[in-house]
């Protein structure tokens, strides 16, 4: 039975993926920051196919992944509960209209969209041996501009540029993870422009834009399809280090294919995450 741990599981793509994974017979471990929403999605996933009558169970975990202390607590909780994780789906992410730092001193977009999946994956690496790591990236990475000397956007903040840079980081992380951890199958994907809660955590322009644009966006179910495909499909089992769009491997931007940049990002991120060099070595 395949165990999938999925973050950002209470809205949009994550919620749709969790339900579909359960429907396809996977054991699903949901992660969200709101306990009531986690319970609600767990009920939906169980109704779809998991959690009873001999079917795969659905588990619930609550953590605010914008905080690295919470990432570490979650990792410890997961390690204690599960002997092996077949799939880690790094799906949690957000766009923030203005630059603010968390209580730990990290810019919010960088913390949630990149630092959190980097740290969680590394902390769970022993439990993932032979498994798959699926990270939700975006075609928005093409607007990103990665400066290793300014990972936290102190020199200037533009919401879409910073978001795009965080998605570029997701692809570079995937590329470097595949190189450093050949025992894993690490891939990322672009879900398309999806009707989710994305952008609605902020007031003003982004909330209005996402509301007005919603009728033209993909459904969360369609956006989740590549995540589910990368997690469970036999066709995806041999892929590693790839960027996927609509269940097909595609080339990301030139910057996203820069191996030296990927290695540099990895080293800087490991330092910020407080991981010793040997913990993230090949």
In a domain, 282, yes or no: no
In a domain, 254, yes or no: yes
In a domain, 242, yes or no: yes
Q: Which residue has the tokens 């990665």?
A: 146
CA angle 173, 178, 182 (to 5 degrees): 150
Q: How far is CA 23 from CA 28, 38, 143, 174, 231, in A?
A: 10, 17, 36, 27, 13
What the block records as the tokens of 267 is: 């080293």
In a domain, 243, yes or no: yes
DSSP string of 75-112? HHHHHHH-S--SEEEE------SS--B-TTS-BHHHII
Pairing of strands 248-250, 185-190: unpaired
In a domain, 82, yes or no: yes
- Highest mean pLDDT of the ranges 184-198, 203-217, 258-272: 258-272
CA dihedral 269→267→176→104, nearest 10 degrees, is -10
In a domain, 148, yes or no: yes
Q: Is the dihedral of CA 273, 274, 276, 277 positive or negative?
A: positive
The catalytically annotated residue of 82, 157, 163, 243 is: 163
In a domain, 226, yes or no: yes
Q: Yes or no: say if 83 and 92 are a contact pair by the CB < 8 Å rule.
A: no
Domain range enclosing 107: 3-274
Q: How far apart are CA 280 and CA 232, in angstroms?
A: 26
What values do phi and psi take at 49, rounded to 5?
165, -10
Model's pTM, two decimal places?
0.90
**pLDDT confidence of residue 222:** 85
Counted domains in the chain: 1
What the block records as the tokens of 125 is: 């690496």
Q: What is the pLDDT of residues 64-89, one digit of tens each?
A: 999 999 999 999 999 999 999 999 99
**pLDDT confidence of residue 188:** 98
End-to-end Cα, the chain, rounded Å: 29
Q: Does the annotation count 243 as an active-site position?
A: no
Q: What is the pLDDT of residues 89-133, one digit of tens each?
A: 999 999 999 999 999 999 999 999 999 999 999 999 999 999 999
In a domain, 281, yes or no: no
What is the CATH classification number for the domain harbouring 89?
3.40.50.720
- Listed range (39-53, 90-104, 158-172, 222-236) with the worst mean pLDDT: 39-53
CB-count burial class (<10 Å; 0-12, 13-18, 19+) for 79:
middle
């Amino acid at each position: 039975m395949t165990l999938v741990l999925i973050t950002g599981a209470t809205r949009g793509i994550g919620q749709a993926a969790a339900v579909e994974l359960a429907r396809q017979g996977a054991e699903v471990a949901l992660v969200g920051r709101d306990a009531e929403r986690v319970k609600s999605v767990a009920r939906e996933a169980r109704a779809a196919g998991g959690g009873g009558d001999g079917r795969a169970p659905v588990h619930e975990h609550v953590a605010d992944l914008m905080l690295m202390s919470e990432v570490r607590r979650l990792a410890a909780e997961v390690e204690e509960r599960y002997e092996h994780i077949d799939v880690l789906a790094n799906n949690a992410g957000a766009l923030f209209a203005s630059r603010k730092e968390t209580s730990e001193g990290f810019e919010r977009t960088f913390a949630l969209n990149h630092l959190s999946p980097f740290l969680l994956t590394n902390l769970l690496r022993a439990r993932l041996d032979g498994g798959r790591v699926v990270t939700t990236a975006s075609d928005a990475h093409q607007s990103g501009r990665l400066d290793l000397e300014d990972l936290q956007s102190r020199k200037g903040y533009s919401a879409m540029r910073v978001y795009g840079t965080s998605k570029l980081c997701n692809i570079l992380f995937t590329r470097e993870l595949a190189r450093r951890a050949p025992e894993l199958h690490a891939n990322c994907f672009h879900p398309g422009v999806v009707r989710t809660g994305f952008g609605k955590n902020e007031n003003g322009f982004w909330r209005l834009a996402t509301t007005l644009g919603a009728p033209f966006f993909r459904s969360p179910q369609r956006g989740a399809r590549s995540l589910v495909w990368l997690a469970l499909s036999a066709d995806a089992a041999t892929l590693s280090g790839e960027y996927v769009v609509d269940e097909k491997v595609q080339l990301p931007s030139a910057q996203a294919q820069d191996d030296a940049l990927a290695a540099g990002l990895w080293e800087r991120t490991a330092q910020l995450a407080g991981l010793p060099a040997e913990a993230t070595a090949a």
